Amino acid sequence: MSQNPASVYDAEPIPAEARAEIDEMLQSGDLFRYTAPENAPVTLLEREFASLLGSKYALAVSSCSAALFLSLKALGLPRDARVLLPGFTFAAVPSSVVHADCVPVLCEVADNYRIDIADFTSKLDDNISAVIISHMRGHTSDMDAIMRLCNARNIPVVEDAAHSLGTTWHGENIGTLGKVGCFSFQSYKMINAGEGGVLVTDDPEVVAQAVIMSGAYEHNWRKHMPVGDNSSALEKAFARWQNKLPLYNLRMSNLSAAVIRPQLPHLARRVRDGLKNHDYVAALLAQCPWISVPDKLAAEQRAPDSIQFNLVGMSDDETLAFAQAAAEHGVKVQVFGLSQDNARAFWNWEFLPEGIPDLPQTRSMLSRACDTRLPVRLTQRELDNIANAIIQAAQDVKGSFAKAV
């Protein structure tokens, strides 16, 4: 069988309302966030996003990686400060630490794609100055344990919520549990602007520094003052940092904001559909004895736009044959640890200043962990086709099995 069960790379169309605003901008040429005296699309997006998440402040920037970098810089970490993060994340995350002149320290990740709390605890020593929690592919690590451990040591937590927009933990939005939360608007995320990112925080010192370093030169920071905010904490913070910080110019353009804003009202529906699609495919895959889909944690309500599963009882050669068979059945499955130069395999991060660490548990998980996109717009028929193609690929390699009726 060779067919195309569903394109997993087609995004949902951008809502039509974006067109009118973009047309107007093309006419006026007003694409820069700081030209208008007030209410530029980027400013409105920041207000809407902060209110959606329940955060005091939001800063829209060019990418989630930029948001992570600015978060670390705004924490005022000294050169060579050590930042603890999971060994399973995207290469841009340790890269943001290196950009900030800090040193990434990696901890083990378990078979369920979440941080191994025992290893995290043992590495959270006096030499760690900050923590980045990558909720990789939207899988939330045990934030109760992580926040308790970090609060006890007064270590700031930056949440890399690139894939977690709409995910909650005990009902609270992921990205609002740590000191700063960073989100991505890159195409393969819940909200798609091609590129883009945003950080949220309740801390005026952090946001004031991040705003200035993102490129709010001269007194453009005034355009970040919340409407009707007469409390002076934020204004004082801006005044204190005036002219003191380098400008990295990682701003978002009005065009991106115009693409993002009309998608915000669709988020709740996308989260609902994404979860329904994921759980439907997960239940089908769970029937196959060579596939296991790890459970979520109890406190977590997920918002997936992709599915991850582990192959069971397959050798490396069989795992590669499985990925090849899935492609022949029309579904692209990446095995994080077996595709060449994969950016999510820590042993490919040759830029790490202290070399590649030894993380046997994470390495073994990555060599059987599979990843398939599952955009929220898929129909049930397409979901059936995708699940069948994956199961058929496993059967091609391991032989058929009797399905439970």
Ligand X SMILES: Cc1ncc(COP(=O)(O)O)c(C=O)c1O
Find where tokens 């930029």 sit.
Answer: 66
Task: Tell me: does residue 160 bind ligand X (CB under 6 A).
Answer: yes
What is the β-pairing status of strands 57-61 and 82-86?
unpaired
What is the β-pairing status of strands 82-86 and 128-134?
parallel
Chosen residue from 40, 61, 84, 92 binding ligand X by CB under 6 A? 92
Site string for ligand X, 64-83 (x = CB under 6 A): xx------------------
Helices (H), 130-260: 143-153, 204-214, 232-241, 254-260
Task: Tell me: does residue 167 bind ligand X (CB under 6 A).
Answer: no
Q: CB of residue 39 vs ligand X: minimum separation in angstroms? A: 25
Q: What is the DSSP string of 256-314?
A: HHHHHGGGGGGHHHHHHHHHHHHHHHHHHHTTSTTEE-PPPPTTEE---SEEEEEE-S-
Nearer Cβ to ligand X (214/385): 214
CA–CA distance, 146 with 295 (Å, rounded to integer): 19
Task: Tell me: does residue 162 bind ligand X (CB under 6 A).
Answer: yes
Q: CB of residue 288 vs ligand X: minimum separation in angstroms? A: 27
Task: Tell me: does residue 61 bind ligand X (CB under 6 A).
Answer: no
Nearer Cβ to ligand X (62/310): 62
Q: CB of residue 344 vs ligand X: minimum separation in angstroms? A: 7
Q: CB of residue 154 vs ligand X: minimum separation in angstroms? A: 25
Provide the 10 A C-beta neighbour count for residue 356. 13
Q: List Cβ neighbours of 255 (8 Å cut-off, separation of 6 or more).
A: 22, 25, 31
Chosen residue from 55, 63, 201, 263 binding ligand X by CB under 6 A? 63
Chosen residue from 61, 74, 93, 190 binding ligand X by CB under 6 A? 93
Tokens at 225, concatenated: 């003052």
Task: Tell me: does residue 97 bind ligand X (CB under 6 A).
Answer: no
Nearer Cβ to ligand X (163/261): 163
Furthest-apart CA atoms within the chain: distance in Å? 69
Number of residues counted as binding ligand X (CB under 6 A):
15
Only segment of 60-68, 168-176, 306-314, 322-330 that touches ligand X (CB under 6 A): 60-68
The torsion region of residue 154 among left (phi > 0), alpha (psi -120 to 50) and beta comes to left
Task: Tell me: does residue 136 bind ligand X (CB under 6 A).
Answer: yes
Nearer Cβ to ligand X (43/89): 89
Task: Tell me: does residue 372 bind ligand X (CB under 6 A).
Answer: no
Chosen residue from 90, 241, 322, 346 binding ligand X by CB under 6 A? 90
Per CB under 6 A, contacts with ligand X among 196-235 are 197
CA dihedral sign, ordered 235, 237, 238, 239? positive
Element (H, E) at 184: strand 180-184
Only segment of 44-52, 160-168, 274-282, 290-298 that touches ligand X (CB under 6 A): 160-168
Q: List Cβ neighbours of 371 (8 Å cut-off, separation of 6 or more).
A: 137, 306, 307, 308, 333, 334, 335, 336
Nearer Cβ to ligand X (186/310): 186
Only segment of 1-9, 159-167, 260-268, 312-320 that touches ligand X (CB under 6 A): 159-167
- Cβ(84)–Cβ(124) below 8 Å: yes
Site string for ligand X, 258-297 (x = CB under 6 A): ----------------------------------------
Nearer Cβ to ligand X (70/397): 70
160: phi then psi, degrees, rounded to nearest 5: -90, 95
Task: Tell me: does residue 89 bind ligand X (CB under 6 A).
Answer: yes
Nearer Cβ to ligand X (85/331): 85
Tokens at 72, concatenated: 């670390």
Which is nearest to 75 in space by CA: 49, 46, 101?
Answer: 101
Nearer Cβ to ligand X (294/330): 294
Binding site for ligand X (CB under 6 A): 63-65, 89-90, 92-93, 134, 136, 160, 162-163, 184, 186, 197
